[in-house]
Amino acid sequence: MIKIISLCLLLLINAFSVVYAANVKVAAVEFNPVAQDVEGNIRKIVAAVTAASENGARLMVLPEFSVTGFGFVPENPNDLDTIPGRATAAIEKVTQKFNSYVVVGMYERDTVTGVIHNAAALIGPKGLVGKYRKNQLPTGDYDVAAPGNLGFPVFDTEIGRIAILICFDDSRLQSLLIPSLRSADILAMPIGSDMMPKFEKMSNGNHSTISNIATLAQWTGMHVIASNQTGLLSIPAFGLVDQFTGGSTIWDNNGKQLSHSKVSTWTKPLPPETIYATIDTSKKSEQKTFWLKHRRPELYQVYNLYKAPVDPVANNTQNQISALLVQYEPINGNIEANAKKVDALIENNQNVFNLAVLPFNSFLGQVTLNQNNIHQFAESLNGKSYTLAANLAKKYRTYLLFSMPEVNDGKYFETAILFDFNGKQVGIYRKSHLNDSEQSWASAGNSLPVFNTNDLGRIAVMLNDEVRIPELTEVYALNRADLILIPAAYDAKQYGSEVNIPKGLVPDASNRGMNIWFDIAKYAQAFTLVSNYQHDTNKEFERSAVYALVPEEGYSPPNIAPNKEIAHQVMFTTHTNNTLWINQQSLVVGRRYDLATPLTLDMQSPCFKEWQTNSTSKELCKGE
């Protein structure tokens, strides 16, 4: 049955792998609009996309609000545009001439209702292809624009399937997952990322989308073209001059940074520039293939629930966490020797701690399990390894997370157990997303628990490569996890890569670590603690680490273990700073829960197939 389902998923993936022009030259066209000068902006946009087209670009992406500018409350209809409208008509002459595509942002006035939206249009060789209206609005946008009402369309073109998101849309992971699930090849992102001085109005509300999106192309499996404004821009409505960072970037669907513009600063503001890269839309994303094959939408139903502003599950207690991330080189298969080494590393720490996290299959080491040897290594609860781990928790008076291959009623599982400081089991998690190898011998767990503790807060677990399933991150956020613990056996080869944000956009201390672990902390708004084995290589991004809530802003950058065997200590306090641009409460309450249903559909269901096939429709299974 599993093989049949896997085959069906592969057929589904291949069904949308239409042959397009494989190598496509694309451009991020930086552009600084003048507020309320639509005609002048259009003339400059036409000149910019003409130049990029003459340089061979087939797809050009301009920043947010390029047509209209922003930072004003529209009173004159001429200060806005429509879609189709003046800008699309002018740009169409260029796209027809050069057989190209342009994505451009604006304040759009709906011609029927008069409602204003923060929108972007896609114009192609035959004219207007379609439009997208921004779904996730930050504070400030609500003074002018209404949230989007078109869903997440994906436009089928001769150069690939193109999705559009606008700036703050990136603040909710579901906004990126839905277009990718709808088989988008290319994500075009018009952006307006600023970096306000901390004495300025709104300084606690800024969010650097251009920095944030830098770590997401690989996880979501799309080519990303992100175009930002740059330099110093006047914002009359707020009575200030703001600094936009530039740093426009193009990534391929495996997360490789192909090109980026210079980063603008207060002391060295830079003019707009156009950057180019060639993407291969025929090249598959290994991460996306894995994700689509192994995701389990039946476990994600919490996506459809509205978590009201008063959420009884939410924990706001400030808990002081002092955790040990045990990183060691195991003797594979030697449980007693490995347990002794773990014990020695913990004992060597002389500081106070209240949590220890051990690597994946904590005392077994990196043994490749299969049908032939699982009976040799799997243990029952209360067996040897379980008892050794419980005794460690009791000995050091600490919470401890440990994992092992488990046998229970003739079935095998990959299992994690959380012990309290008395060595008592307070939580058990059986891996719910099995990789191909594990599916040959293991049974999957069928729940995603969050363990409530008085001492540490609410704790969730991801086991090893489950981090490749991004929905887990948001499910745990919606179920109000304060900590996500990840026992890992990560070799830095099969998935993930180092964080690689264009230099200058964030402090160097934040430009570190492994991109997926980095993103889990941000999108769950939960401190993420990873315990990995020690490896011979010196790759920093594969080491044990703690990732905090807004690392791309420079607050609480990743704390990464040194390259040695160690019980690496990390210390922090939960729920201490709600003045930053996002927190779990804002993340959960402000998301568009009404648009999340596709993430919870069976991918073999008629409803899902209809939604994916009719990829520009905002309706979901209207006929059912």
Which tokens belong to 84?
Answer: 């189709």
182-191, 334-343, 478-487, 545-554: range with lowest mean pLDDT? 545-554
Cα-based distances in Å from 69 to 104, 141, 413: 12, 13, 56
**pLDDT: is 555 or 169 the higher one?**
169
Instruction: State what percent of residues in the chain have pLDDT above 70.
Output: 96
**pLDDT: is 533 or 205 the higher one?**
533
What pLDDT does residue 92 have? 98
Q: Can you list the positions of beta strands (E) in 55-173?
A: 59-61, 101-109, 116-124, 127-133, 154-157, 160-164
Helix axes 515-524, 471-478, angle to 10 degrees: 30
Predicted structure pTM score: 0.95
User: Does the pLDDT value for residue 471 go beyond 90?
Assistant: yes
We find that the CATH architecture of domain 320-590 is 4-Layer Sandwich (3.60)
Answer whether 598's CB lies under 8 Å from 611's CB: yes
User: Does the pLDDT value for residue 37 go beyond 70?
Assistant: yes
pLDDT (tens digit per residue) in 241-269: 899 999 999 999 999 999 999 999 999 99
At 203, is the pLDDT very low, low, confident or very high (cuts 50, 70, 90)? confident
pLDDT (tens digit per residue) in 262-321: 999 999 999 999 999 999 999 999 999 999 999 999 999 999 999 888 888 898 899 999
User: Does the pLDDT value for residue 16 go beyond 90?
Assistant: no
pLDDT (tens digit per residue) in 488-526: 999 999 999 999 999 999 999 999 999 999 999 999 999
Please give the torsion angle defined by the CA atoms of residues 576, 582, 586 and 590, in that order, rounded to the nearest 10 degrees.
180
Q: Can you list the positions of beta strands (E) in 350-455?
A: 355-357, 399-408, 411-419, 425-430, 451-453
Which strand (E) or helix (H) includes residue 244? strand 240-245
How far is Cα of residue 369 from the mean position of the Cα atoms in its chain?
Answer: 30
User: Does the pLDDT value for residue 343 go beyond 60?
Assistant: yes
Summarize the confidence of residues 390-402 as an average pLDDT: 98
Which tokens belong to 543?
Answer: 């080491």
Cα-based distances in Å from 220 to 31, 522, 588, 612: 27, 15, 20, 16
At 17, is the pLDDT very low, low, confident or very high (cuts 50, 70, 90)? very low
Domain boundaries, the chain: 2-282, 320-590
Give the whole-angstrom CA distance, residue 580 versus residue 590.
15
What pLDDT does residue 239 have? 80
Cα-based distances in Å from 372 to 114, 333, 377, 378, 406: 67, 15, 10, 12, 15
What pLDDT does residue 125 have? 98
Answer whether 257's CB lies under 8 Å from 502's CB: yes
Summarize the confidence of residues 203-217 as an average pLDDT: 88
Burial 253-292 (b: 16+ CB within 10 A, else e): bbbebbbbbbbbeeeeebebebbbbbbbbeeebebbebbb
**What residues contact 296, with CB distance under 8 A and at least 6 apart?**
432, 433, 444, 469
Burial 557-579 (b: 16+ CB within 10 A, else e): bbbbbebebbbbbbebebbeeee
Burial 374-397 (b: 16+ CB within 10 A, else e): beebbbeeeeebbebbbebbbebe
Tell me the H-state helices in 358-478. 374-377, 384-396, 436-439, 471-478
Fold (CATH) for 2-282: Nitrilase/N-carbamoyl-D-aminoacid amidohydrolase (3.60.110)
At 623, is the pLDDT very low, low, confident or very high (cuts 50, 70, 90)? low
The residues annotated as belonging to the active site are: 64, 134, 167
User: Does the pLDDT value for residue 106 go beyond 60?
Assistant: yes
Summarize the confidence of residues 221-240 as an average pLDDT: 90
Answer whether 120's CB lies under 8 Å from 67's CB: no
